[in-house]
């Protein structure tokens, strides 16, 4: 057997249990409201009503830091009070001169969930109750459980929050508040379980099914959600673990081995969830394999075995429901093919579709910013010395439709025109999956004769051409 059979226990020791307790205790006291002075409030409230809104700052502490958690929390709070007139989603920079303590101990501060309300996606500080979540990333990487004789990889496990998934949630872009809905649903489900709500009286479970076309980020979203919840619940649970099961591997050609794999998998899960202070996420990827397994069974060779395995899996999943510290996340490409018995078990069935125009724009925007950061592409010559940047989709649309409001001072006309070109490129990309969109800049760059430097505007045109080629190749196949 290769892997980390006892990863859960060793990780508690390894992750410095005192540190974990310190983080957990701190969560009780670091929920804070930022309240400006009364006269400032009076003027402000006359113009804008307060919003009953809790906002989140997630603070990632450097792995090397041993600073007292309460001290970090206090410093973050002071920094936010001092610096922020408004909150928008995204990372906050930490200045070496201004905040030397935070610069030394904090890797990142990220404002979350601020985009739903407020004008222009920005919330002003008196409209917000701020919650601060502190966490440290786990650097260990995945532990893998493989079958002794055949070398079949049955599942992988991570201690969360894991470095691999850092920034994953923010990188996934969907419209219509999908991520927020999933997060809120999961938070409520865990809270109900934790408070011991009687499921005979109020019915709910902790099974989520994400389904939709390939490459739309379903697996990534499940992992990112688990990571997010591990951060949000680190005041309640000492540790979180993600177990990723590839359902397909359970129903490989080794049908006779499948029963053993399922048993072993659930033995592992059982071991974990018996520890009440561990939050366990079970990710079953490509769950349609269950249905495929049944069909194969009906058609042929080893019916009894594979049906038994599917049933065993469903029974085991049902048993998990009685444990309050487990969330089951599942994905499927082909919803119609997912075993109906399984679909019934999922509380939330979210369709994850191809990115719409706004999502295409924002995905490409994040790609281009990365290429600009690394110097692979450059800003247009005519931009001169002005601060040129791609505008957010919301700002671009706002400016495009509001004739009263030409380009604001701090963001130049060049930004506006560049962003309009990006919008045209995003339009040409509609119909592509998120996975292809993230690959597109690479494919486009590969067509360049001179790879050393490429002007941003020119690159946008090449991107649009590449997108068209991808789309037409797809329609031919
Ligand atoms: N909406 C999106 N926003 C940003 N990136 C996305 C989006 N959708 C997909 N991606 C990118 O595509 C990559 C692949 O996503 P992932 O493997 O999670 O998709 P999937 O839906 O599980 O695919 P499959 O159905 O083939 O298993 C992600 O790492 C991400 O970079
Ligand atoms: Mg997937």
| CA dist., res. 13 & res. 70, Å (int) | 22
> Ligand 1 in contact with 84 (CB < 6 A)?
no
Check if 218 has its Cβ closer than 6 Å to any atom of ligand 1. yes
Q: Is the CB of 252 under 6 A from ligand 1?
A: no
Q: Is the CB of 214 under 6 A from ligand 1?
A: yes
Residue 116 φ then ψ, to 5°:
-85, -30
- What digits encode the pLDDT tens for the residues 237-280? 999 999 998 777 776 555 566 677 777 788 888 888 999 999 99
pLDDT at residue 150, as a whole number: 55
Cα–ligand 1 centroid distance for 104 (angstroms):
34
pLDDT at position 347 is 78
pTM (2 d.p.): 0.84
Q: Hey, which of 435, 436, 440, 441 would you mutate to test ligand 1's pocket, going by the most ligand atoms within 8 Å of its Cβ?
A: 435
Number of the ligand 1 atom closest to the C-alpha atom of 210: 21
For helices 413-428 and 456-476, the axis angle rounded to 10 degrees is 10
Task: Tell me the ligand closest to 433's alpha carbon.
Answer: 1
Q: Is 118 in the pocket of ligand 1 (CB under 6 A)?
A: no
Mean pLDDT, the chain, whole residue set: 79
The ligand with the least distance to the CA atom of 215 is 1
The minimum-distance atom of ligand 1 relative to the CA of 286 is 27
- Tokens 């990487």 -> residue: 141
Q: Left if phi > 0, otherwise alpha if psi is -120 to 50, otherwise beta: which for 197?
A: beta
Q: How far apart are CA 102 and CA 178, in angstroms?
A: 33
Q: Model confidence at 361, in pLDDT bands (50, 70, 90)? A: very high
Can you tell me the distance from the alpha carbon of 367 to that of 389, in angstroms, rounded to the nearest whole number? 13
Cα–Cα nearest to 239, from 205, 281, 207, 269: 281
Task: Copy the structure tokens of residue 225.
Answer: 């959600």
Give residue 29's pLDDT: 39
Q: Which residues of 396-405 are buried (b: 16+ CB within 10 A; e: fewer)?
A: bbebeeeeee
Q: Is 289 in the pocket of ligand 1 (CB under 6 A)?
A: no
Q: What is the pLDDT of residues 57-111, one digit of tens each?
A: 899 999 999 999 999 999 998 888 777 666 677 888 898 888 899 999 999 999 8
Model pLDDT for residues 131-174, shown as the tens digit of each residue: 899 999 999 888 876 655 455 567 889 999 999 999 999 999 99
């Amino acid at each position: 057997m290769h892997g980390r059979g006892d990863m859960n226990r060793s990780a508690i020791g390894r992750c410095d249990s005192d540190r974990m307790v310190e983080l957990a205790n701190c969560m009780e006291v670091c929920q804070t409201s930022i309240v400006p002075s009364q006269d400032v409030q009076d003027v402000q409230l006359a113009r804008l009503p307060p919003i009953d809104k809790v906002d989140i700052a997630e603070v990632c502490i450097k792995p090397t830091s041993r600073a007292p958690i309460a001290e970090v929390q206090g410093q973050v709070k002071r920094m936010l009070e001092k610096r922020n007139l408004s909150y928008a989603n995204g990372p906050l920079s930490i200045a070496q001169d201004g905040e030397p303590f935070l610069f030394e101990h904090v890797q990142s501060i990220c404002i979350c969930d601020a985009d739903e309300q407020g004008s222009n996606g920005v919330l002003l500080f008196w409209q917000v109750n701020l919650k601060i979540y502190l966490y440290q990333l786990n650097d260990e990487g995945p532990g893998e459980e493989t079958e002794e004789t055949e070398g079949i990889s049955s599942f992988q496990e991570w201690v969360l929050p894991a470095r691999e998934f850092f920034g994953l949630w923010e990188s996934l872009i969907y419209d219509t508040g999908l991520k927020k809905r999933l997060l809120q649903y999961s938070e409520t489900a865990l809270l109900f379980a934790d408070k011991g709500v009687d499921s005979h009286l109020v019915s709910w479970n902790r099974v989520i099914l994400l389904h939709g076309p390939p490459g739309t980020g379903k697996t990534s979203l499940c992992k990112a959600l688990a990571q997010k919840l591990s951060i949000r619940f680190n005041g309640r649970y000492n540790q979180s673990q993600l177990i990723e099961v590839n359902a397909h591997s359970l129903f490989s050609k080794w049908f006779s081995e499948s029963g053993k794999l399922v048993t072993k998998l659930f033995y592992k899960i059982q071991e974990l969830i018996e520890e009440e202070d561990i939050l366990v996420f079970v990710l079953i990827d490509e769950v349609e394999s269950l249905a495929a397994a049944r069909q194969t069974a009906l058609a042929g060779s080893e019916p009894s075995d594979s049906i038994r395995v599917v049933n065993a899996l469903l029974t085991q999943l049902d048993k998990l429901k009685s444990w309050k510290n487990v969330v089951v996340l599942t994905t499927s490409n082909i919803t119609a093919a997912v075993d109906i018995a399984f679909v019934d078990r999922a509380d939330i069935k979210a369709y994850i579709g191809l990115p719409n125009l706004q999502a295409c724009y924002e995905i490409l925007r994040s790609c281009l910013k990365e290429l600009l950061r690394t110097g692979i592409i450059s800003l247009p010559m005519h931009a001169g010395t002005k601060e040129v940047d791609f505008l957010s989709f919301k700002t671009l649309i706002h400016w495009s439709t509001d004739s009263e409001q030409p380009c604001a001072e701090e963001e130049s006309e060049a930004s506006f025109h560049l962003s309009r070109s990006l919008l045209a490129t995003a339009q040409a990309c509609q119909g592509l999956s998120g996975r292809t969109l993230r690959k597109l800049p690479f494919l486009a760059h590969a067509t360049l004769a001179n790879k050393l430097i490429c002007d941003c505007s020119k690159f946008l045109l090449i991107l649009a051409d590449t997108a068209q080629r991808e789309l037409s190749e797809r329609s031919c196949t």
